[in-house]
Amino acid sequence: MTPLKNDTFLRALQRQPVDHTPLWLMRQAGRYLPEYCATRARAGSFLSLCKTPSLATEVTLQPLARYDLDAAILFSDILTVPDAMGLGLYFAEGEGPKFERPLRQEWEIRDLQAPDPHDHLGYVMDAVSEIRRALDGSVPLIGFSGSPFTLSCYMVEGEGSDTYARVKTLMYSRPDLMHHILDVTTRAVIDYLNAQIEAGAQAVMVFDSWGGMLSQAAYLEFSLPYMARIMAGLTRERDGRTVPRIVFTKGGGLWLDRIADCGADAVGLDWTIEIGEARQRVGDRVALQGNMDPSILLTTPEAVATEARRILASYGHGNGHVFNLGHGISQFTPPENVAVLVETVRAESRQYHAS
């Protein structure tokens, strides 16, 4: 493979010196880009976009062609793993993801198996390899997975939820069954992420999108320990280089101290926590990734630049910051505001890394 030309992102995740604060954006390949919408239209559906490596490669690279970003992230969906477990992922028009066969009966839960990623998720590994070839060493590629808790939520609910009534009923009335789903899913995620690393992912991120709706007691029982198990089970080095790991629990700011001890190299932050205070709390345990409110990208170029500068200053001098949003970019984002963000972070962050 071509040597990596820009390793700023990988270095920052390991709190090594860099000359600017690296930046990428959650959901950077997405509907706010007209070229993404065109490829998606050609693909016919979101799922076939995910499942066709050449198209997944195409959209993964689109934001990099427009913006000076420091990392690419595999274009895929967090629900590929439960889909490979046989739950039948589909997207109803205009609605979120759904499963044809959600987990409703005890025997369905007991029958759950961790899929072999090479058998059932080969299209993801093919996409990872193809993206790595297409990137040609320009920036590193991030692989990812949903967290066991977030995946289990979808598997039990069968779709997105406002109340999470089904999964909470299961958690609180049959914790043994919930832990069984989480255990199988954790093993599946470890195999899945290791296969992505094997195929070429140079960093990995675990998205715990729904952990933040738990009580602290439930989070510490049902979400964080499984992410810690994943951290312990991941391939640590590949091609002589450390593969850094990021965990991100949206709404998890209150639990930052515990999350920082789960074995990850970096912790993603949503925008509700002040990143400078977060840095004080984690000390030199982990790097921090975040944390601009994505809604600010819906406002004006001036507001975007001001907020980007504020966040850089809040983190302050020194290593260990990866700039990102606190949540995926909105489909209503004007692409020119993203350009302002990227240029501002690149230019203004150098002062915080000068020796």
**Residues 23 and 329: beta-carbon distance below 8 Å:** no
Contact between 123 and its own copies per CB under 8 A: no
- What is the chain's percent helix, strand, coil content, to nearest 5? 50, 15, 35
Q: How far apart are the first and last CA of the chain?
A: 32
Contact between 158 and its own copies per CB under 8 A: no
Q: Choose the catalytic residue: 11, 15, 27, 229.
A: 27
Q: Output 34 or 172, the one with its CB closest to its own copies.
A: 172
Strands of 39-136, DSSP E: 72-73, 89-91, 97-99
Reply yes or no on whether 27 is catalytic.
yes
Among the listed residues 46, 91, 164, 352, the single contact to its own copies using CB under 8 A: 164
Q: Output 108 or 293, the one with its CB closest to its own copies.
A: 293
Q: Choose the catalytic residue: 15, 40, 229, 245.
A: 40
Contact between 165 and its own copies per CB under 8 A: yes
- Per CB under 8 A, contacts with its own copies among 204-263 are 212-219, 251, 253-254
Q: 210: closest CA among 248, 237, 181?
A: 248
Stretch that binds its own copies, among 39-47, 66-74, 259-267, 300-308 (CB under 8 A): 300-308
Contact between 332 and its own copies per CB under 8 A: yes
**Residues 33 and 335: beta-carbon distance below 8 Å:** yes
Contact between 355 and its own copies per CB under 8 A: no
Q: Output 199 or 304, the one with its CB closest to its own copies.
A: 304
Q: Which residues contact 159 (CB under 8 A, 6 or more apart)?
A: 95, 96, 97, 98, 99, 102
By CB atoms closer than 10 A (0-12, 13-18, 19+), residue 153 is: buried
Among the listed residues 93, 107, 302, 354, the single contact to its own copies using CB under 8 A: 302
Provide the 10 A C-beta neighbour count for residue 248: 27
HEC string of 64-91 equals HHHCCCCCEECCCCCCHHHHHHHHCEEE
Contact between 280 and its own copies per CB under 8 A: no
Angle ∠(214,174,160) on CA atoms, nearest 5 = 45
**Residues 124 and 186: beta-carbon distance below 8 Å:** no
Q: Output 138 or 306, the one with its CB closest to its own copies.
A: 306
User: What are the two backbone dihedrals, phi and then psi, of residue 126, each rounded to the nearest 5 degrees?
Assistant: -60, -40
Reply yes or no on whether 40 is catalytic.
yes
Q: Output 227 or 305, the one with its CB closest to its own copies.
A: 305
Contact between 40 and its own copies per CB under 8 A: no
Among the listed residues 32, 149, 154, 271, the single contact to its own copies using CB under 8 A: 271
Among all residues, which ones are annotated catalytic?
A: 27, 31, 40, 77, 154
Q: Contact residues for its own copies (CB under 8 A)?
A: 163-165, 168-169, 172-173, 212-219, 251, 253-254, 271-274, 277, 291, 293, 295-296, 298-300, 302-303, 306-307, 310, 330, 332
